Structure 1
Amino acid sequence: MTTALTLTPGRRPDGSTVLRAVGEIDMSNVDTLAAAIDEQVAAATPLVVDLRAVEYLDSAGLTVLFARAHQIHLITGPLLAPLLAISGLTQLTTVHGLGDEPTR
């Protein structure tokens, strides 16, 4: 059974491309996430991936983000911020939402 995940591409007010994720990211839907990121990256690099509405992110989801860290920037909220920091992802890409300043 696939876990609910909604991915919505769009533009931020500054014109950058954003992919908003809502729901849970796990091994049942990481292929969809990877394909959506790859499709958007083809149009714009870096792509901003907005994870503020993601309620769960497992190691399969982290693997997708790590593999594309050089092509994406992330926006996170308080729920995922510790996970992104502990995993080391904040050392590989810009992450907003960890405090006042982006990491990296």
Structure 2
Amino acid sequence: MTTPLALETSRRDDGHRVLTATGEIDLSNIADFSRALDDATADGPLIVDLSAVGYLDSGAINALFAHADQVSLIINPVLKPVLTISGLTSLVHVEQSPD
């Protein structure tokens, strides 16, 4: 069974491109998330908004590591410990979304 995940790429008024994920990112949908990251970073830097993601697994972290030189993150506070332990927060700019 596929875990619900919605992905949307948009452009903010300031010109920054944003990939917004809503749901959970795991083995059942990591291919969609990876493809969205690949497509969205093809033209340069990207903000990945994970503020509506309550869970991500190691596959999602690996996908983010693969794009660490091109992404910044907005995260749900619940994700901060796992992203810190993984070392990703030392490689990319991370903003915590409001609680």
* Shorter-chain TM-score above 0.5: yes
The answer for the alignment partner of 2:39 in structure 1 is 39
- Please tell me the root mean square deviation across aligned C-alpha atoms, in Å: 1.5
Equivalences for 1:12-91 in 2 at 5 Å? 12-43=12-43, 45-91=44-90
Task: Quote the Cα distance in structure 2 between the aligned partners of 1:90 and 1:98.
Answer: 15
Aligned residues of 1:81 and 1:98 also touching (Cα < 8 A): no
Task: Quote the Cα distance in structure 2 between the aligned partners of 1:13 and 1:85.
Answer: 30
Task: Quote the Cα distance in structure 1 between the aligned partners of 2:55 and 2:97.
Answer: 17
Offset of residue 98 of structure 1: 7.8
The normalised TM-score by structure 2 is 0.91
Task: Quote the Cα distance in structure 1 between the aligned partners of 2:90 and 2:45.
Answer: 16
Aligned residues of 2:18 and 2:49 also touching (Cα < 8 A): yes
Extract structure 1 runs of 4+ deviating beyond 4 A: none
The answer for the alignment partner of 1:2 in structure 2 is 2
